[in-house]
Amino acid sequence: MVADISYLQQTQQQIAQLDDLLALQRQAFRANPMPSAGQRIQWLKSLAGVLVSERDRLVAAISADFGNRAADETLFAEIMPALHGIQYASKRLKKWMKPSRRAVSMLFMPASAKVVYQPLGVVGVIVPWNYPLFLAISPMVAALAAGNRVMVKMSESTPATAQALKEILAKVFPEDLVAVVEGEVDVGVAFSRLPFDHLLFTGATSIGKHVMRAAAENLVPVTLELGGKSPAIISADVPMKDAAERIAFGKSLNSGQTCVAPDYVLVPRRRVDEFISAYREVVQRFYPTVEGNPDYTTIINDRQASRLDGYLKDAEAQGARIVPVLPQAQGRRMPQALLLDVHDGMKIMQEEIFGPLLPVLPYDGLDEALAYINERPRPLALYYFGYDKREQEHVLAHTHSGGVCLNDTLLHVAQDDMPFGGVGPSGMGHYHGHEGFLTFSKGKGVFSKPRFNSARPVYPPYGKAIQKLVYKLFIR
């Protein structure tokens, strides 16, 4: 009972502090509403410097939250792309900030028009647990590059990472510029209700609906990076070793706890056994052992492990065949498995898997595979394996997804010069690179006239000869 009261008091205190933090950042923004390129670049350099100097602490904190997260996965999938994003933005920021000249019709000459990119103000970022560092830093980079202040709400499932990041960022940023917010679900709910100038949420589609509803109360524009069931399609003639290896990497990274991980794979019916054999061989090469292997990332917590185990049991009870890929292990080291004979009535085919389980669906023709995808909610990513250019273009033209990899998985997310974002149930809006700068900027149109007023002839009273001439010249 005492513990419950203490938790409630702490949560109430954290929620009360949110308004103070937002007011602090708003005041700082009003004092400096258009930071110079030099100042923004310095912010980014400071961020890069502290990520490099504190990388070992961050790797350890993330691993502690997971139970075990392969250090190389944190370096490869979190720290390295965060640093590349900083470098990319820093080199191009001055160009992005330049006003964009726009055309003016002859009807309105002499005049000039331009678009000025202005910071929005205070940006809120809600971070999921699966990549707690990169999914905090990447939107932060875009928001800082655009000249904003940033408040970041970390996931309650990664408390060690949240504490480490809060302390690390405090070394280079005052709270009126960058603030990291810790706390449980109630704090996150209160955070989503704050009147930010923009709110970015990364997480489950079901939670995204609540976030969007909360933001709507204050008409806060939102960017939603959600998930969904991202398919992989294997063509009739692609070398199976190529496809299986790249799909296995995409499914193995972070034990499949990735929003763009392949969620199911469509395989030509005659090649299903070939895929199973090649996939098992690759994964067993990746992980000769599971138990005690530091390279094998565990499921984040017992709740997520129980959810995945429930998917397996539900599928098996409804007739699915489970094909183990790795030997059983203790605790949350869930070994990979393929699932055959699945159907839409199974939970594993209804929800995003977010784990090392991969359903395999046979198909008899490419258009049948595309129809299967198109009959379902639009995914965050789509993967096609085949080297025929015409087939590649056919797939691109006849599917919708947030992003696409041809003959690979995941790596489109790491391309700084491409926007990242979903479509429909898998999200709305973009960030990364220039698109991130634009997302967190207001493109303000500015129309400028000299002293000479060329519009005077069209002022009332109407019916004058000059007005009739204007209509004759421009309405046709």
Q: Which helix (H) or strand (E) holds 359?
A: strand 357-363
- Per-residue tokens: 211: 């976030």
- Return the bridge partners of 100, or none: 115
> What pLDDT, in 10s, does the model give residues 290-329?
998 999 999 999 999 999 999 999 999 999 999 999 988 8
pLDDT attached to residue 132: 97
pLDDT tier, 26 (very low <50, low <70, confident <90, very high otherwise): very high
C-alpha 34/C-alpha 390 separation (Å) is 48
- 47 and 102 in a single domain? The answer is yes
Measured over the CA atoms of residue 311, residue 317, residue 323 and residue 327, the dihedral's sign is positive
- 86 and 205 in a single domain? The answer is yes
Do the domain assignments include residue 50? yes
pLDDT attached to residue 473: 84
pLDDT attached to residue 182: 95
- Number of folded domains in the chain? 2
Do the domain assignments include residue 457? no
Mean pLDDT of 446-459: 89
Do the domain assignments include residue 452? no
C-alpha 162/C-alpha 136 separation (Å) is 10
Do the domain assignments include residue 179? yes
- 197 and 254 in a single domain? The answer is no
pLDDT attached to residue 307: 96
Do the domain assignments include residue 448? no
> What pLDDT, in 10s, does the model give residues 97-125?
999 999 998 888 999 999 999 999 999 99
Percentage of the residues of the chain whose pLDDT score is greater than 90: 88
pLDDT tier, 207 (very low <50, low <70, confident <90, very high otherwise): very high
- Compute and round to an integer the Cα radius of gyration of the chain: 26
Contacts of 328 (CB under 8 A, 6+ apart): 335
- 69 and 197 in a single domain? The answer is yes
> What pLDDT, in 10s, does the model give residues 210-267?
999 999 999 999 999 998 899 999 999 999 999 999 999 999 999 999 999 999 999 9
Contacts of 69 (CB under 8 A, 6+ apart): 59, 62, 63, 254, 297, 298
Contact 144, 154 (CB under 8 A): no
Q: Would you say residue 11 has pLDDT above 90?
A: no
pLDDT tier, 13 (very low <50, low <70, confident <90, very high otherwise): confident
pLDDT attached to residue 46: 98
- 8 and 33 in a single domain? The answer is yes
> What pLDDT, in 10s, does the model give residues 327-353?
888 889 998 999 999 999 999 999 999
Contact 205, 351 (CB under 8 A): no
User: Which 8-state DSSP code applies to residue 77?
Assistant: I
CA angle (141, 143, 146) in 5-degree steps? 105
First CA to last CA across the chain, in angstroms?
Answer: 79
pLDDT attached to residue 422: 95
- Per-residue tokens: 391: 């087939």
Taking CA atoms, 183 is separated from 12, 18, 158, in Å, by 10, 11, 10
Please tell me the total number of residues recorded for the chain in this structure.
Answer: 476
Q: Of residues 315 and 467, which shows the higher confidence score?
A: 315
Q: Would you say residue 357 has pLDDT above 90?
A: yes
- 207 and 235 in a single domain? The answer is no
252-285 burial: b if 16+ Cβ within 10 Å, else e: bbbbbbbbbbbbbbbbbeebbebbbebbbebbee
Do the domain assignments include residue 86? yes
- 172 and 212 in a single domain? The answer is yes
pLDDT attached to residue 107: 84
CATH number of domain containing 386: 3.40.309.10
pLDDT attached to residue 186: 93
Mean pLDDT of 394-419: 96
C-alpha 107/C-alpha 290 separation (Å) is 72
- 182 and 204 in a single domain? The answer is yes
- The SS3 call for residue 241 is helix
CATH number of domain containing 122: 3.40.605.10
List the domain range (segments joined by +) for residue 65.
Answer: 2-226+427-443
Q: Are strands 381-385 and 231-234 parallel, antiparallel or unpaired?
A: parallel
Q: Would you say residue 431 has pLDDT above 70?
A: yes
Q: Would you say residue 144 has pLDDT above 70?
A: yes
> What pLDDT, in 10s, does the model give residues 27-82?
999 999 999 999 999 999 999 999 999 999 999 999 999 999 999 999 999 999 99
pLDDT attached to residue 5: 62
CA angle (109, 113, 115) in 5-degree steps? 170
Diameter of the chain measured on Cα atoms: 89
Contact 114, 446 (CB under 8 A): yes
As annotated, the active-site residues are 225
Do the domain assignments include residue 387? yes
Q: Would you say residue 419 has pLDDT above 90?
A: yes
- The SS3 call for residue 31 is helix
pLDDT attached to residue 191: 96
Q: Which helix (H) or strand (E) holds 383?
A: strand 381-385
Q: Would you say residue 443 has pLDDT above 80?
A: yes
pLDDT attached to residue 1: 55
pTM of the model: 0.94
Q: Would you say residue 4 has pLDDT above 70?
A: no
- 162 and 289 in a single domain? The answer is no
pLDDT attached to residue 465: 87
pLDDT attached to residue 356: 96
Do the domain assignments include residue 467? no
- 197 and 261 in a single domain? The answer is no
Q: Which helix (H) or strand (E) holds 2?
A: helix 2-31
- The SS3 call for residue 368 is helix
Mean pLDDT over the full length of the chain:
95
- 203 and 263 in a single domain? The answer is no
Percentage of the residues of the chain whose pLDDT score is greater than 70: 99
Q: Are strands 222-225 and 427-428 parallel, antiparallel or unpaired?
A: antiparallel
Q: Which helix (H) or strand (E) holds 13?
A: helix 2-31
C-alpha 42/C-alpha 331 separation (Å) is 45
Residue 294 CB burial class (10 angstroms; 0-12, 13-18, ≥19): exposed
pLDDT attached to residue 314: 97
Mean pLDDT of 399-407: 97
- 251 and 216 in a single domain? The answer is no
156-169 burial: b if 16+ Cβ within 10 Å, else e: ebbbbbbebbbebb
